[in-house]
Structure 1
């Protein structure tokens, strides 16, 4: 496809005032003004013929990218028939990929490679659909534009970069000191008999074995392994609202994967449960780090939803699937006290047999609106509304805690490590 550039349009439009000035200044030469149009059209035709062809040799991109991570597309071009002017490239994508900065990239006449970066903003499947290439001739009067289909599929997966980076550090710190102390000396599972020493609890003395060996012996216990940890992720409408550029559900999935990897690493059994208006994903419990890719794949299949969350059905279904006591970690968001009433009732029934932990993200945007100094009447209205929503949120959190349900509230970039520390604290206190 050939299109005129801005330079050629300006050149054609400039012919009319030039012909008018020539006719006013020298009426006998007014016919020369008529030559401007065919002369400009001839130059445009020559520019279209002399433009060197351009071919896109290769388009390289990864087949998968984590949500929130950059997707870098490398493009290699080849100029045939001599040097060409600058080249512009653009790639068409679906709604799950957004360009980082300008969606077009420019290549100078002496360059042969280009790079376009996108950001994955939603989990799922997207793709690189089309590639637009355009370049000008030596006079810059004509655009040569070409369209090429790419049809390259890109899978946008949950972000497991914090799992690789933070899990190793958290577990290493726990296993070097604190978990060794937790693993032995506390808990409910018998480990060994040791001679009783000053400072040990008297209730740890095993009187039967002490009488048999004629010296005081104490029982050393250890934290029970093979506990069940279930991560229940709310995928309803409220969880699809963005926090720092990414939906809440994706923040929750990242934190759940970090905690799931830690639990698998420490020998516990892990399950994943996703729900909105009804249960969507139920993995059952698995063990061993080799099962982590299964949890990751199921978390990636948890889609966004515009439906209201049905906590009664979801938590009742989850309780029916659990055959033994488990730690149930619920990732959710509550916007008002009235809407959270059913959630509180369902959680109260669940905690009769299980240890329940609710994980919510701090709403930094809402807190900033409530704390902003008002300068107009609209600012006052927004601040009052934000303060009322925060107050209702604190009331719901207080009611959950009064029922004996644990609540973890943390910022989006610290919720994963905070959840792992909370999980380790539960194991230390033998609450599982």
Structure 2
């Protein structure tokens, strides 16, 4: 519990000095009224503290979420109760969080109704990890409005910030639904690919090249071959976990967007019978799951992805991609999530990607940096705006050069906004699978 004067009390106390000076100029003996004034104000402050409500009986609580998905927003309620005595007219609240969480508003005022005051706030999860609510504070004035009574409760309440697994599954189900707003149902198995599945009656609209003339002659009816998409492909998500991937895009780190897209791809790939693996690297490899198969493997990949933390180290493409190539025993689809900041690191990356391309199909996932594009497009108003626009344009130009060189090498490219990178990656994966390029 802390007690300190309000601005009104400080102003009232400060009036004693000019009052004493003015009275002394009129009559020397009246200067004693100045100290008397200060003593009177001090007595009023003491009386305000004695009459202040809730000094001992006030209860302060916070009801918040047990956990949050990265980028999600959920409500919480800070409440102050005054079960005994006189309740104040209003209470001001404040909450102290660590860097994984953000509150809106972080401070606020609420009126007391039926001996309770509550402030609703929105908690936003900024980064994965252990979010903490360090402290909740409430303060209110005494009945004379001269003193603040403040209560600080140290909670150290943990709110784990995790990957948005529910959102990943919902997105996968949405893509495979018959909802007209999404589009026609994706035919994942039959009707495409190169693996023979069965013979079926030839129907109008089917490809005539699929007719099996020998079996048709034997059965006396037109029969066509039905194919399904080939299964058992190897898909490895190679995720750059270095410094640049920790930078935010659309309110969330690039790494979180990459992990969500990876898990969406893994969820669908495992359902379709392919084998999926996870590989992470920054200055050195830090995660290597090997390829796993079957829908039951998804929880293990989910737990492994949740352990990938943000790093402040620069990415070593030579070590990371060389070790990845050594772990791949057969042709695989290698999905690389990264971001390039300078030409030196880009050259090293391109050199090692070229080695991967000799045996594997490589797909690069690049996220549009809308903030960088907005800086480049903004009409300059000051010299600093011009400098920022020039730097932004140079970075975007270097990025475009890297993308162009990757395309010429034969690398598949997915470019999308950060919040749409998952569906865009999934669409390209299905396209490659139907074209039998895996």
Query: Normalised by the size of structure 2, how large is the TM-score?
Result: 0.88
1:34 equivalent in structure 2? 35
1:263 equivalenced with 2:269 (yes/no): yes
- Pick the aligned partner of 2:145 from 116, 140, 145: 140
Alignment of structure 1 residues 65-76 onto 2, 5 Å? 65-76=68-79
1:123 equivalenced with 2:131 (yes/no): no
Alignment of structure 1 residues 244-259 onto 2, 5 Å? 244-259=250-265
Alignment of structure 1 residues 24-423 onto 2, 5 Å? 24-25=25-26, 29-53=30-54, 54-56=57-59, 58-79=61-82, 80-101=84-105, 103-110=106-113, 111-160=116-165, 162-173=167-178, 177=184, 179-180=186-187, 183-195=189-201, 200-201=206-207, 203-206=209-212, 208-210=214-216, 212-213=218-219, 217-375=223-381, 377-423=383-429
Distance, in Å, in 1 between the alignment partners of 2:283 and 2:290 is 20
C-alpha displacement at 1:71, in angstroms? 4.5
Q: Secondary structure at the match of 1:194?
A: strand
Distance, in Å, in 1 between the alignment partners of 2:148 and 2:433 is 67
C-alpha displacement at 1:363, in angstroms? 1.9
Distance, in Å, in 1 between the alignment partners of 2:396 and 2:118 is 51
CA contact (8 A) 1:188 1:222 kept: yes
C-alpha displacement at 1:123, in angstroms? 1.1
Q: Secondary structure at the match of 2:259?
A: helix
C-alpha displacement at 1:173, in angstroms? 4.6
Relative to structure 1, the CA distance from residue 161 to residue 17 in structure 2 (aligned partners, 3 Å threshold; closer, same or farther) is: farther
C-alpha displacement at 1:383, in angstroms? 3.2
CA contact (8 A) 1:171 1:262 kept: no
Q: Secondary structure at the match of 2:175?
A: helix
Distance, in Å, in 2 between the alignment partners of 1:61 and 1:335 is 39
Q: Secondary structure at the match of 2:341?
A: coil
Which is worse superposed, 109-118 or 58-67? 109-118
CA deviation profile, 1:67-99 (whole Å, cap 9, x unmatched): 222243323322122222422222222222222
CA contact (8 A) 2:213 2:223 kept: yes
Relative to structure 1, the CA distance from residue 9 to residue 307 in structure 2 (aligned partners, 3 Å threshold; closer, same or farther) is: same
Which is worse superposed, 35-44 or 276-285? 276-285
CA deviation profile, 1:87-139 (whole Å, cap 9, x unmatched): 222222222222223x2232323233333333221111131122223222111
Distance, in Å, in 2 between the alignment partners of 1:132 and 1:196 is 75
Question: Which consecutive unaligned segments of at least 5 residues does structure 2 have?
Answer: none
C-alpha displacement at 1:271, in angstroms? 2.1
Distance, in Å, in 2 between the alignment partners of 1:176 and 1:393 is 33
CA contact (8 A) 2:52 2:143 kept: yes
Distance, in Å, in 2 between the alignment partners of 1:273 and 1:169 is 27
Relative to structure 1, the CA distance from residue 204 to residue 126 in structure 2 (aligned partners, 3 Å threshold; closer, same or farther) is: same
Q: Secondary structure at the match of 1:186?
A: strand
C-alpha displacement at 1:385, in angstroms? 3.1
Query: Normalised by the size of structure 1, how large is the TM-score?
Result: 0.90
Question: Which consecutive unaligned segments of at least 5 residues does structure 1 have?
Answer: none
CA contact (8 A) 2:177 2:185 kept: no
Distance, in Å, in 2 between the alignment partners of 1:367 and 1:87 is 44
Which is worse superposed, 157-166 or 238-247? 157-166
C-alpha displacement at 1:237, in angstroms? 1.4
CA deviation profile, 1:293-315 (whole Å, cap 9, x unmatched): 33332222111112111222222
C-alpha displacement at 1:203, in angstroms? 4.9
CA contact (8 A) 1:337 1:395 kept: no
Give the root-mean-square deviation of aligned CA atoms. Answer: 2.7
CA contact (8 A) 2:270 2:295 kept: yes
